[in-house]
Amino acid sequence: MPRLAVPELEDHPAFPVVLRDAMTGFLRVASEVIGVSAVAAPLVEEAMDAVGSEQIVDLCSGGGGPVLSLVRRLRESHGRAAMATLTDKFPNVAAFDRAERELPDQVRGVRESIDATAVPDTLRGVRTIFNAFHHLPPEVARAVLADAAQKRQPLLSFEFVERSAQGLAVLGLIPTAVYALTPFIRPTQLSTLALTYVVPVLPMTILWDGFASCLRAYSVAELEAMVAPLNSADYHFRIERRRPPILPGYVTCVVGMPTRAAATR
């Protein structure tokens, strides 16, 4: 099945903010239910050890994704003093405000636009991308990886959509999941409830974007071809597939790490 750059509604500049925020809120709740942080935590801990830093720099953060769950898990189950910085090219200031209130002194959001292809040197630490890599065209995706390799910063991308028959089959669960999880989106907005249970706009938009995401997802072979030219004596990428606690499928992980010698420079 070839990769198709099918447009996602959420990416369109004219897409209503009320719907975009509801969708990113749903994705955050869904990622917590699926247990993406359980997949991410061991790899993030490995990256922290590689560079001797407890700092996480989350790229393409959207509504915050599973980063808050990741910070909690690292602190409570792994004994790490994890701190996360949320960034985005188009920052969701309201979501960043909520994240800071939820985990004060552990999470902060950068209100200025941060381009993932040119992360400022002031933002150093373990870079993470949760379910956003498929949004990037190949040339942009390569530039994001190259920036991390050039600056010798770990980069971990986690995608829980996949371009496969199984990935497309899972989409049938989306409407039910939206109906079940919408009450847990915080803060609760009357508009979100109305667009779910009165006029089911939210289930349909999430279903479409889920379908588009599957068709846009990079395969393991495509990712391996993308990272191969970036491997060097100072930096190495690998691609892994890991099964989360609750999902009939896999999370595809791009793991970029500086070598120990490079990390200490």
Pairing, β 126-130 against β 251-258: unpaired
Residue 249 has pLDDT above 90, yes or no: no
What is the H or E stretch that residue 57 is in? strand 55-59
Residue 32 has pLDDT above 90, yes or no: no
Mean pLDDT within 198-214: 96
Mean pLDDT within 241-264: 83
**Angle (deg, nearest 10), helices 201-216 and 17-34:** 70
- 103: how many CB neighbours lie within 10 A of its CB? 18
Q: Name the nearest CA neighbour of 202 among 192, 211, 214, 210.
A: 192
Provide the pLDDT for residue 258. Answer: 96
Residue 70 has pLDDT above 90, yes or no: yes
CA 180 – CA 259 distance, rounded (Å): 44
- 51: how many CB neighbours lie within 10 A of its CB? 20
Instruction: Express each pLDDT in 87-105 by its tens digit.
Output: 999 888 888 998 999 999 9
CA 263 – CA 154 distance, rounded (Å): 9
Alpha carbon distance, N-terminus to C-terminus of the chain: 43
Cβ–Cβ < 8 Å for 222, 3: yes
**Amino acid residing at 265:** R
Angle at CA of residue 41, ends 104 and 170, nearest 5°: 105
Say how many residues make up the chain: 265
**Amino acid residing at 192:** T
Provide the pLDDT for residue 63. Answer: 76
Look up residue 196 and give its DSSP letter: I
Q: Which residues contact 122 (CB under 8 A, 6 or more apart)?
A: none
Q: Which residues contact 173 (CB under 8 A, 6 or more apart)?
A: none
Instruction: Express each pLDDT in 7-26 by its tens digit.
Output: 999 888 889 988 988 898 89
pTM of the model: 0.91
Residue 261 has pLDDT above 60, yes or no: no
Q: Which residues contact 2 (CB under 8 A, 6 or more apart)?
A: none
Q: Which residues contact 48 (CB under 8 A, 6 or more apart)?
A: 54, 80, 82, 126
Alpha-carbon radius of gyration of the chain: 18
Tokens 């409830």 locate to 193
Provide the pLDDT for residue 103. Answer: 95
The class that CATH gives domain 9-260 is alpha beta
Residue 236 has pLDDT above 80, yes or no: yes
